[in-house]
């Protein structure tokens, strides 16, 4: 380890990452128990009783007319049906929850514990990033290991912030799993000892360009998780919310992330001009950043102009998500260029 590195803080950072992985794994288990046996969606609202057996009684001209709601639930509004027009106004688990009464008390406790573990994991994650930066005296995303750790932190942060504003607890199990797997991959295959970075990264632009890319990537991961759930969710009763809700969650995350990613690309061009004397040189990292930008722009354009909703729009955003992941990880590992300073072991 270089002599100008605080070995104690570097070791503490590594230990905090391992603690973070464990906390996220236990949080994932709690979220999964809540999703499987609790109220779902984390809204804490009453759940409607058995869907197929429940009847709405309307009195018309002295006669009683029974209006049975379909037992199969059909598809959601995103696929062109009117399932979202149910009387309770929701398209999520309140309609899809099978009959059987209130959830067990331990399921509610599992949800509370999962949220608490997510918060503790977030604090440990933040501590790992801060101690890594203090150990080397620079911004702590100068190599591939630090970058992946920061992206996982951004994804969890995006989920926790969104959860505080709307009922998206159903994403908790999947975001926690993605973060734990990402950190595990970083520790196992990307970890390098804390140390100085190459001269090209000794710039204030790393705090601008890379930070923006990290924030946008965290939101894109959240949207990608929602999109994958959309495609895997069946048409029948499910603990997951309706496809229309999943589509809305993905769209909201991308609407926020896209301008941040746009700024990151522009900031990268400005940094390239300062470091290499040109704004754009068709380096593999530059090319794939632009491809990801084009793909997400196509998704937003299709929704705004052609009115695309549902499966077609989700497929476009998942293609864009694949381009993003390759740009973040694959380019640094498999391709060479001016950005090939990721220090992959």
pLDDT in tens, 50-104: 333 333 333 333 333 333 333 333 344 444 433 333 333 334 444 344 444 566 7
Q: Are residues 177 and 316 in the same domain?
A: no
Tell me whether residue 280 is in a domain.
yes
**Which pLDDT score is estimated for 90?**
38
The pLDDT of 176-193, averaged and rounded, is 93
Q: Are residues 290 and 183 in the same domain?
A: no
Tell me whether residue 73 is in a domain.
no
Which uninterrupted H or E stretch holds 152?
helix 144-165
Which of 97-106, 182-191, 257-266 is the least confident region?
A: 97-106
Tell me whether residue 235 is in a domain.
yes
Give the residue numbers spanning the domain of 18. Answer: 1-42+110-143+167-197
Tell me whether residue 190 is in a domain.
yes
Residue-wise pLDDT for 114-159, tens only, equals 999 999 999 999 999 999 999 998 889 888 899 999 999 999 999 9
Q: Are residues 193 and 318 in the same domain?
A: no
**pLDDT reading at 298 higher than 90:** yes
> Which residue from 320, 179, 207, 335 is spatially nearest to 267, judged by alpha carbons?
207
Tell me whether residue 65 is in a domain.
no
Q: Are residues 33 and 174 in the same domain?
A: yes
> Which residue from 222, 184, 168, 211 is spatially nearest to 20, judged by alpha carbons?
184
Which of 35-39, 178-182, 272-276, 313-317 is the least confident region?
A: 35-39
Q: Are residues 131 and 263 in the same domain?
A: no
**Which pLDDT score is estimated for 16?**
96
Tell me whether residue 327 is in a domain.
yes
- Comparing 61 with 185, the larger pLDDT belongs to 185
> Which residue from 143, 126, 94, 118 is spatially nearest to 27, judged by alpha carbons?
118
Structure tokens at 268: 């990268």
Q: Are residues 331 and 248 in the same domain?
A: yes
Percent of the chain with pLDDT over 90: 46
- Comparing 191 with 43, the larger pLDDT belongs to 191
Tell me whether residue 84 is in a domain.
no
Q: What 3-state class would DSSP assign to 325? A: helix
Q: Are residues 188 and 205 in the same domain?
A: no
pTM of the model: 0.78
Q: What 3-state class would DSSP assign to 59? A: strand
Structure tokens at 34: 């809540």
Tell me whether residue 102 is in a domain.
no
Number of folded domains that form the chain: 2
């Amino acid at each position: 380890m270089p002599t100008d590195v605080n070995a104690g803080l570097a070791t503490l950072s590594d230990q905090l990452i391992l603690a973070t992985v464990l906390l996220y794994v236990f949080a994932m288990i709690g979220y999964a128990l809540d999703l499987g046996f609790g109220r779902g969606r984390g809204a804490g609202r009453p759940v409607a009783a058995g869907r197929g057996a429940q009847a709405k009684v309307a009195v018309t001209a002295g006669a009683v007319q029974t209006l049975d709601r379909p037992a199969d639930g059909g598809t959601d509004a995103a696929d062109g049906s009117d399932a979202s027009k149910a009387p309770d106004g929701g398209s999520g688990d309140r309609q899809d929850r099978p009959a059987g009464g209130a959830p067990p008390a331990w399921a509610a406790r599992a949800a509370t514990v999962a949220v608490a573990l997510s918060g503790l994991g977030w604090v440990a994650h933040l501590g790992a990033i801060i101690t890594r930066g203090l150990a080397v005296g620079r911004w702590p995303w100068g190599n591939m290991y630090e970058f992946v750790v920061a992206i996982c932190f951004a994804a969890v942060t995006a989920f926790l912030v969104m959860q505080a504003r709307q009922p998206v607890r159903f994403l908790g199990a999947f975001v926690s799993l993605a973060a734990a797997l990402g950190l595990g991959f970083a520790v196992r295959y990307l970890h390098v000892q804390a140390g100085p970075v190459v001269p090209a990264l000794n710039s204030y632009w790393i705090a601008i360009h890379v930070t923006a890319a990290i924030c946008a990537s965290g939101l894109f991961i959240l949207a990608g998780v929602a999109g994958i759930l959309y495609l895997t969710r069946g048409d029948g009763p499910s603990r997951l919310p309706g496809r229309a809700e999943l589509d809305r969650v993905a769209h909201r995350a991308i609407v926020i992330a896209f301008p941040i990613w746009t700024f990151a690309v522009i900031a990268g061009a400005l940094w390239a001009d300062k470091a290499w004397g040109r704004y754009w040189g068709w380096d593999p990292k530059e090319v794939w950043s632009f491809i990801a930008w084009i793909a997400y722009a196509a998704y937003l354009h299709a929704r705004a102009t052609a009115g695309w909703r549902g499966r077609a729009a989700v497929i476009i955003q998942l293609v864009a998500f694949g381009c993003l992941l390759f740009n973040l990880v694959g380019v640094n590992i498999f391709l060479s260029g001016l950005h090939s300073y990721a220090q992959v072991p």
